[in-house]
Amino acid sequence: MNKENRNSSQLWSVLARAVKCSYKEGKPKLSCNRHFEANHLTKKVFEIHSLEQPAEIDENTLWLELVPRPVIHQSNDSLELPTIVSSLHVRIYKTLGIAKTTDSCMNPLLDVLTGFDNTGNVHLWFSEILLAHSMFFDCLYPGLWNELYKNFDDHPIENVCELCAGMTGAAGLAISLRKYSNIFKTSYVLITDGNDQCVASISSIIEHNSKRLLDNCNLDQPFLLHMDVKNIRWPDDSSQSSSSLIAELDESLIHRFDLIMAADCFFDQSYHFSMLNTINRLLSLQSGSTFLAISPLRGNSLHNFINLAYQMEQTYSWTVKLISPSDYLSSQFISYLIDESNRLQFTDSELDSKIGHLIAFTRTN
């Protein structure tokens, strides 16, 4: 078993133990102090370097620079990135055990892997990393960018929100780096999570990266981008009446966002309905406004989320798509990620286990 599979097995073992044991009966304690190590696929799309750590930083946290790999090299001119700066700076916890600093009424093992937990505090989850990487190299994600160019052919993306962003908010951060273009006139980026620790970490990242953008922006043009972070958390589907299953939102956020992004946050099916309600309330009513996410199927959980979204197509005036990896990634990129350059075809299940599907909701008239 390779290292990546062992790491995944460790996490799923924690989940299995959490499901089997009762918090009231056993109160099992989490004992996972595995030091941070990016998985194999993350290293294939980003070079990862430790940054000089600020003097005031907590000894349990780490600042990293993620430098996107072009993967498919051009033989002629050097590739010009569509971003203001050429890398991401993110902050993470070094180990899983120390990320948990507050008591929880939830089963502590399950709390690490689901709900409003610490997984985003520690790991660079590949779905989030892939979504961030797509903002640097459009050509590697033709299906994803076809959706965006089609949906925003008559108006640009101005307001962006990332939901369930974990500790890094890498996808929202990456989109904030995009230069102005026909499709991007970004003026406001909101990065959110339901965990206070994640929100605090994202605040530090936004402050750091806002300074980077100011230092690197075109001095002949005003810097108009505003970045923000908020704790947005929706209730369990069984906790309230169906009309109340939605996150508490500032009035200023209602139907504000042209583009909403998320990654691998559909595992817990008990939050699907309220999550969809929240997405609908945040997403602009303008035709073409888009919710975009990357996630593996994770058993039936993603299919159940998609089926529920299908049922709401008329109510919420959106169309729903679940796009396989082979339909949104370039074939060369897939071969590179899978490490099998001689193969031309892969099954959806093979690709999903490593890469994940693309989810797209698009507002209709």
Query: Which CATH homologous superfamily contains domain 7-363?
Result: Vaccinia Virus protein VP39 (3.40.50.150)
In this prediction, residues 265-291 reach a mean pLDDT of 95
Confidence (pLDDT) at 346? 79
Q: Do residues 272 and 266 make contact, with C-beta atoms less than 8 angstroms apart?
A: yes
Dump pLDDT digits (tens) for 29-64: 433 444 556 788 899 999 999 888 776 667 778 899
Q: What mean pLDDT, rounded, does the chain reach?
A: 82
- Percent of the chain at pLDDT > 90 equals 52
Higher pLDDT, 334 or 118: 334
* pLDDT band at residue 100 under the 50/70/90 scheme: very low
Q: Do residues 116 and 196 make contact, with C-beta atoms less than 8 angstroms apart?
A: no
Dump pLDDT digits (tens) for 170-202: 999 999 999 988 999 999 999 999 988 889 889
Query: Is the pLDDT at 254 greater than 60, yes or no?
Result: yes
Confidence (pLDDT) at 135? 96
Q: What is the CB-side half-sphere exposure of residue 206 using CA atoms within 13 A? A: 24
Would you state the torsion angle of the CA atoms of residues 78, 325, 186, 124, taken in this order, to the nearest 10 degrees? -80
List the structure tokens of 77. 């001119």
Query: Is the pLDDT at 90 greater than 90, yes or no?
Result: yes
- Percent of the chain at pLDDT > 70 equals 75
Report H helices in the chain: 3-20, 23-26, 40-45, 96-99, 108-113, 119-122, 126-133, 142-151, 170-176, 196-216, 272-282, 301-311, 313-316, 325-328, 331-338, 348-354
Query: Is the pLDDT at 24 greater than 70, yes or no?
Result: no
- Domain-wise residue ranges, the chain: 7-363
In this prediction, residues 278-305 reach a mean pLDDT of 96
For residues 97 and 118, give the distance between their C-alpha atoms in angstroms, rounded to a whole number: 9
For residues 331 and 313, give the distance between their C-alpha atoms in angstroms, rounded to a whole number: 31
Q: Which amino acid is at 320?
A: V
